[in-house]
Chain A
Amino acid sequence: MTIPAVTSLNGVPVAAIPVDVDVANAALVGEQLAGAVTHDAPCLVLDLTATRYLDSAGIDMLLKLAERLRNRRQALRLVVPEGSPLRRLLAVMGVDASLPVYASVTEAVESAGGEPGTLSPR
């Protein structure tokens, strides 16, 4: 399986994940994402713009990845466009309470200046 594409914007790693993240690929995607973040990066921006479905295993992966990064004093920032059903999903599952969600990659990267994990979504 190809590694999720990781690019860098202003020194911040930005990763896009597969169209669907479910129980079939969540563990592998999580491993690859954790491995793609260097120790000097303040955070990882995870772009879910092209993501169509994220099941409970995918949500679990996001939470575990966030915890893993937090232990390295790094933050996980999600990018989900306004109006995407994924926004509603993250809200009803309570994920947005612990993980900041941004509308665009630019917004997420620009907010990366502050202390990891303390940024508000807006």
Chain B
Amino acid sequence: MTDYELRELDKQPADASLGEITDSALAYLSLEDLLVELLERIRTLVQADTAAILLVDRERGVLLARAARGIEEEVRQGVQVPLGRGFAGRVAAEARPIAIEDVDHADIHNPILRQKGIRSLLGVPLMVGDRVIGVLHVGTLQRRSFDESDRRLLQAAADRAARAIDDAQLSEQRAMTEVLQRYLLPDTLPVIPGLEISAKYLPAPGAGVGGDWYDVFSLPDGRIALVIGDIAGRGIGAAAVMAEARTALRAYALERHSLEDVLALLNALIIGAGRRRSLSVAMFALDLETDALDVVSAGHPPALLVRPDGTRELVAAASGPPLGSKISSGYAAESVAFPLGSALLLYTDGLIERRGETLDDGFARLLEASLIRDANLSLADRAFRDLAANDSAAEDDVAILAVESYALGDTLHLDTDADPTHLASLRRIVARWLTQFGVDDAQRFDITLACSEAAANAIEHAYGPRDATFALDGHVTAQAVEVVVSDRGRWRPERQTDRGRGLQLMNALMDEVIVERGEQGTTVTLRALRK
């Protein structure tokens, strides 16, 4: 196109000018609205009766009608044209403009064009660089011979439209990824004194939504569950399977099934639902009181365990194929020690896989990564920094979930939801704290159970079903342990005999128990002299 013609295009009236096709106001429209607006302007510009945009769906090898003016049925009926077939299919496959003067004598795939009485058609490819992202075509009810200047005009409009569509698709994808991240990945990681939990999720650039996920939650037996998984494939389909797997895994785990059974049940569910995608998943359960870390893996790469002395080991080798496989004969869990000062790094293969490398090269880099401490960076951030940040050719998503254990101070503070299902993890944390300060087994049991009773009291006093919390504040010295459990609930007379038994239990296990009931809530102070 000559400079003169381009200048002429930009001289069109404001409501129909090509400049308007990409003006800033359009940036705020959704892709659907943007396309309709573009078509209206293009239809006026080339004086056509109909205008339509079909976008390429690579996964299915078709063009999908996305927007139309004058032939709205195309979109409503979800017209699909196989690439290379029919009028639009050829424009896309051959990446060049095609004009048809009389549709009666042409190979037309889409019946709606004939039904609407369209006589002549002109189609041009929507190109971004050398990539065809779709087809723009216009039609007239009167027979018309589209000439070279019509083609140039439509192609110029298409080029501008293509960039706008590409931008919109990218931002739509980004927005979708954000939504998925928000809903499918934990928005906040649990705060557990003695553990620093960090996570990182990076979708591969421009490749659509992936199926990587991680999860952290408390099990009913008080252990902390850590999950990492990777669904084969990309796009919304993979994300949907991820959502299904994440929810089902949580549900099975909360029903107190063993790690082995959780994976076996999930495998049966995925096969039964007819999902043709396979997914690798590894699940870990950390007991804060015994430092035992139980692990089970279905086809997932092993996790990195960093021991307190800095030595490293790959743990949780897959004990069976990825889920979705009918050949699976079950999954065996193993247990490793996770003593104070240990760290664990869970990840999806995007972190270590590089083109032209073997998987062993990736594991070797993982075992040698510096991961050197930096006050501003979590372990997940450091793993990303050392292993993936400099890799500009990253082709896969990266999900990282990291846990570091650290020594607790002589004061302990816990804010806990007033929900009895949190009592088990509360006991684990209190017991871990007491162990670190050398409180012996018998006294640790007594103090932990007394704290749990005081907490159960606070939960019973909680004033509302939502947002009610209570606080536990402990202080340990060489002579004594003091724990204060306070709630902001209104005091109510004890309703059940077992609450009376709770006070009896606290008195039996502790040297001193003080219950103060005030307008602001109830405070229970527990004191034990160290033996």
Check A2 against B257 for contact (C-beta < 8 Å).
Answer: yes
Q: Which of A36-44, A49-57, A96-104, A105-113 contacts B (4 or more CB under 8 A)?
A: A49-57
Check B501 against A19 for contact (C-beta < 8 Å).
Answer: no
Instruction: Quote the shortest CB–CB distance from B201 to chain A (angstroms).
Output: 32
Given contacts A2-B255, A55-B502, contact A22 B452 (CB under 8 A): yes
Which of these, B220, B257, B502, contacts A24 with CB under 8 Å? B220
Enumerate chain B residues within 8 angstroms of A22, measured Cβ to Cβ. 420, 423-424, 452, 456
CB of B492 within 8 Å of the partner chain: no
Interface digits, B431-456 against A, CB 8 Å rule (1 contact, 0 not)?
00000000001100110110011001
Check A55 against B221 for contact (C-beta < 8 Å).
Answer: no
Enumerate chain B residues within 8 angstroms of A23, measured Cβ to Cβ. 420, 423, 456, 459, 498
CB of A13 within 8 Å of the partner chain: no
Enumerate chain B residues within 8 angstroms of A2, measured Cβ to Cβ. 255-257
Enumerate chain A residues within 8 angstroms of B508, measured Cβ to Cβ. 92-93
CB of B246 within 8 Å of the partner chain: no
Interface size class of A (residues with CB under 8 A): 20 to 34
Q: Which residue of B lies closest to A4 (CB)?
A: B256
Check A56 against B499 for contact (C-beta < 8 Å).
Answer: yes
Instruction: Quote the shortest CB–CB distance from B494 to chain A (angstroms).
Output: 11
CB of A116 within 8 Å of the partner chain: no
Interface digits, A43-76 against B, CB 8 Å rule (1 contact, 0 not)?
0000000001101110110000000000000000
Q: How many residues of B contact A (CB 8 A)?
A: 31
Enumerate chain A residues within 8 angstroms of B97, measured Cβ to Cβ. none
Check A53 against B427 for contact (C-beta < 8 Å).
Answer: yes
Check B255 against A1 for contact (C-beta < 8 Å).
Answer: yes
Check A57 against B504 for contact (C-beta < 8 Å).
Answer: no
Q: 25 interchain pairs (CB within 8 A)?
A: A1-B220, A18-B221, A20-B222, A20-B424, A23-B423, A24-B220, A24-B421, A24-B424, A25-B220, A52-B289, A53-B427, A53-B449, A53-B452, A55-B423, A55-B449, A55-B453, A55-B456, A56-B499, A59-B498, A59-B501, A60-B498, A89-B449, A89-B505, A93-B504, A93-B508
Q: Which residues of A contact B (CB under 8 A)?
A: 1-2, 18-20, 22-25, 52-53, 55-57, 59-60, 85, 88-89, 92-93
- In the complex, given contacts A23-B423, A60-B498, A92-B509, what are 9 additional A-B residue pairs having Cβ atoms less than 8 angstroms apart? A18-B220, A23-B420, A24-B423, A52-B289, A55-B452, A56-B456, A56-B502, A59-B505, A89-B449
